[in-house]
Structures are given as structure tokens and as C-alpha cells.
Amino acid sequence: MIAHYDPRLETSPASFPLEQWYVGGFAWELNDRPLARTLLNQPLVLFRTASGEIAALEDRCCHRALPLSLGTLEAKGLRCGYHGLLFGADGQCLEIPGQPKVPGKARVRAFTVRERDQILWIWFGGDEQSTPSSEPPAYPVHSSGDYRFAGDVYHYDASWQLIHDNLLDLSHLGYVHLHTIGGNAAIHMNAQMQVTGDETSVRVVRYMLDSDPPPTYTAAYPFNAKIDRWQEIEFNLSHLKIWTGAVDAGSEPVDDPQRGGFHMRGFHGITPETDNTCHYFWTMATNPVSDPEATTRKVIEQTRLTFDEDKVIIEAQFANLQRFGERPTVDIHVDAGPNRARRIVERLRQAGAV
């Protein structure tokens, strides 16, 4: 059991589990320009061809090493912005201007990428020959038509596992998010909590009955007075799914899968950039009962404010961990979920080490 933060785990070059799918972006990010993004210490360029095929290549031309992300998109692929070599989605050079023969070794590494429910998933294996052992996760919230959603990408100057900790422990809401999704801090710290899981996932369920609705909730839904809140968190290595919401107090069971009320379904793709930085790919979906566009806009605005608040806390926390080094910390009751997740990451890291 990881009983405290160990800065050596935060900066170890082998800290990222391999043979896994990781979130690389969203479908709507790929337009008429290549997208540069470093994931798991790998500089990549992402783009979509004219036929709709998505590519993820090493961001380095095999000729003179210019980042391919500085090039331009054409019908057949990506053209380097230095000497015009054209690369297809498979990384093979298709054309060298002024030279009829293209050497077979003129290619760059290509990564397996899949688009599913508007999420871009990239397979990171132990070597170039690694092939996916499964399809990437589905997220039907984006495609079912039952919800309206939007999202964005945050960059963190912090270790990715600190974001896992933050999302698996929502007791902090009453202190960090007073003006958005917070609510009474004592109710959050004393909420009924169930922590379960298996070898690859953790599930945390929290109920807060007969509580005051926080600002985000009252801005988006016509509650009568007191509410019964739920928080259902599912951790997986590459992403977390968080279903939160509320019904009028005493109106219906908060553990009913078909419950009504106000819903917020969050997708949180947490992908390391480097040993000390990461990307946070998020969407928030909701179920407006009136004025769908305005209500959805309010929920997204409030979500951004919430994430802005978290970002300040997590980056300051990571900076302090680096500043103080190997100082022990103390666990409290709300750390059960985060500690389980850290054990899963460590086990998968060791299993995927090459």
C-alpha cells in the first residue's frame, strides 16, 4: 500500500504503464492543421487525411528532423515544412520533391490511433511492433443522444497521478469549490462512502442526503429546496468516469440507475506528457430540462471554473512535493480510493515494463 507520496515515483522514467490505450485528444481538435502533442515523453503529430483517416506519427521528419507538426496537410497526408517530403498516415514517405525514387527507409514511426465516441485513443506499446490487445474503451454518453456535452483540454505542470487522487477524493469539494459544485464541507467529509474495485479499476460511491444545493446545481436545475446528492466515480488507468447529480430531497432513491433529477456525467482522460507534466482531456454532459443551450452553457462554464480551481491546488501541491522531497505524509479516511488507484498504476507499470 502506498501510504504517502514518494517523489521518486512521480519522476521515475519508467512510471508509465505500457501496452495500454491512452487518450490523445478529441475528434474536433483535428481540422485543417496538424496537431503537435507530447504523450508519455513521445513527441507526436496528429492529423486527419482527406479521406477521414486519423494518423499519429512521431513528430520528426526522417530527413533533417524538423517537427512534422510545422508542415501542411494535403489530400494524401502531411508534407514536411522544410524540404517537402510527404508522409502518409502509416508513416511511410510517399513523395520527395525533385527525386523520383523514395528510399524504403524514408519513413517515421506511426502509432495506432482509434476514434471512438469522439475520443482519440492512442496505443502505447513496449516497442514499435506492439499491437493493441483490445479495442479502446467506449463512452456512449457522447453518442447516445441522451445528453448534451462539451469539453476541452488542460495542461498541468504536475504528475498525472495527483489528478487521479483529486478526482477519486471528492471530499475536497466543500473547501476548494465553494462557489461552484462545493456545498457544506462537513457533509462532504462525512458522506456515506463505498470503495470497491478489481485488478484494473476502482469505484467510489458517495451519498449526501438532505443537503443544500451548490451554486452550479441551482444555476442549472429548478430544485425545490434541499437535495439528495450522489457521486459515482470509476477509475481506470487511462481515464475516469464521474457521474454526479441530485434529486429533490426524499423524492426518489439516489441509487436507482434510472433516477431523474439533475445529472452531470464527466469524462476525464488523464495522460502523462512528461515525467512532471500531463494533459487533462475532459468533457461534461448534462440533461437540461429547459432551455437546453443556455443550461448546457452554464454547466460547461461552471465546470471550467471548477477545473481552474483544481488546477491551482494540484500544481501548487506538486511544486511543494518537489520542493520538500521525500517527506512522509499521513493518510485519512478519504484516501481509500486514491490509494487503490496508485497500487493499480504501480502493478501495471511493472507488468508493462520492458
Answer whether 281's CB lies under 8 Å from 121's CB: no
**E strand or H helix at 268:** strand 262-272
323: amino acid identity, one letter: R
The amino acid at residue 33 is R
The tally of CA atoms less than 13 A away on the side-chain side of residue 34 is: 29
Backbone angles phi, psi at 36, to 5 degrees: -90, 135
Q: For residue range 212-258, what is the model confidence (pLDDT) as tens digits?
A: 888 888 888 899 999 999 999 999 999 999 999 999 999 999 999 99
Burial class, 80, CB count within 10 angstroms (exposed 0-12 / middle 13-18 / buried 19+): buried
Residue 5 confidence (pLDDT):
42
C-alpha cell at 29: 481538435
All domains of the chain in start order, with CATH: 30-114 (2.102.10.10), 140-352 (3.90.380.10)
Cell numbers representing residue 207 in the block? 451519498
Taking the C-alpha atoms of residue 78 and residue 8, their distance in angstroms, rounded to an integer, is 39
Residue 189 has pLDDT above 70, yes or no: no
Residues 6+ apart with CB under 8 A from 351: 17, 19
Under the banding of pLDDT at 50, 70 and 90, the label for residue 290 is: confident
| pLDDT level of residue 182 (50, 70, 90 thresholds) | low
| CB 296, CB 180: distance < 8 Å | no
C-alpha cell at 277: 507534466
Contacts of 61-64 with CB under 8 Å at 24 or more apart are 61/85, 61/87, 61/108, 62/93, 62/105, 62/106, 62/107, 62/108, 63/106
Give the Cα separation of 340 and 198 in Å (integer).
Answer: 9
What's at 287, amino acid-wise? Answer: N
Is residue 112's pLDDT more than 90? Answer: yes
Question: Tens of pLDDT along 149-179?
Answer: 999 999 999 999 999 999 998 776 666 666 6
Q: Are 105 and 115 in contact, with CB atoms under 8 Å apart? A: no
The model's pTM: 0.91
Q: What is the mean pLDDT of residues 290-311?
A: 90
Q: What is the pLDDT of residue 188?
A: 59
Q: Give every CB contact of residue 292 below 8 A, 6+ residues apart in sequence.
A: 148
Say if residue 145's pLDDT is above 70: yes
pLDDT for 185: 58
- Cβ neighbours of residue 101 closer than 8 Å, sequence gap 6 or more: none
Largest CA distance in the chain: 76
